[in-house]
Chains A and B, each alone.
Chain A
Amino acid sequence: GAVVSQHPSRVICKSGTSVKIECRSLDFQATTMFWYRQFPKQSLMLMATSNEGSKATYEQGVEKDKFLINHASLTLSTLTVTSAHPEDSSFYICSAASGVYEQFFGPGTRLTVL
């Protein structure tokens, strides 16, 4: 299957700082990338859908000014958690799709905000 990478895999930051997470499709061009958040022992919750070159579409309840998404190319999308607080601590996972139904997930980024 296709490979999606995420960087960093783990980050610990102080409250109030911003954190950028990168998601890359390594061997295919992703027309659409998705960002999910997963709290411990819970399901994946879709945060936003991003298409290359256009603004991301955010799910209800997700603050677009807090979770900035940029999809600058067909192989890279970034999620920036601005002014992170402890309640933002979670497992953030991206996925990429090339137009067919299957989504390929990145390995995830575990964010801990102190």
Chain B
Amino acid sequence: GQQVMQIPQYQHVQEGEDFTTYCNSSTTLSNIQWYKQRPGGHPVFLIQLVKSGEVKKQKRLTFQFGEAKKNSSLHITATQTTDVGTYFCAEDSSYKLIFGSGTRLLVRP
């Protein structure tokens, strides 16, 4: 079946360091969405990317969609303790979301 792999599984950074999570698919993605889930919470929508090579920014967060639409990345500049959580990519396939495995981010103050 369709799978969206995410790496790393887990990352522990010092506050102020940058963080990147990568999402990879063996098939071409129609689009990619990114979600953040705080510990004990539910996923919150961050952004959707649709176009090949698309780059979008939200303050310290930069989202990229690969030229071949098979990979995507989320980069956080100068992490803060409020960035703690698990970041999931997800493909919206016929209105169904297929979630990646997630990257858990911990930030040391």
Binding site for B on A (CB under 8 A): 1, 32, 34, 41-46, 49, 60, 93, 95, 97, 101-108
Binding site for A on B (CB under 8 A): 1, 31, 33, 41-45, 48, 88, 92, 95-102, 104
What is the chain A residue whose CB lies nearest that of B90?
A44
Contact B101 A43 (CB under 8 A): yes
A-B pairs under 8 A by CB, number: 46
A1, A43, A101: the one within 8 Å of B88 (CB): A43
A45, A60, A103: the one within 8 Å of B45 (CB): A103
Instruction: List, in ascending order, chain B residues with CB within 8 A of A97's CB.
Output: 95
Contact A43 B33 (CB under 8 A): no
Contact A102 B96 (CB under 8 A): no
Contact B31 A44 (CB under 8 A): no
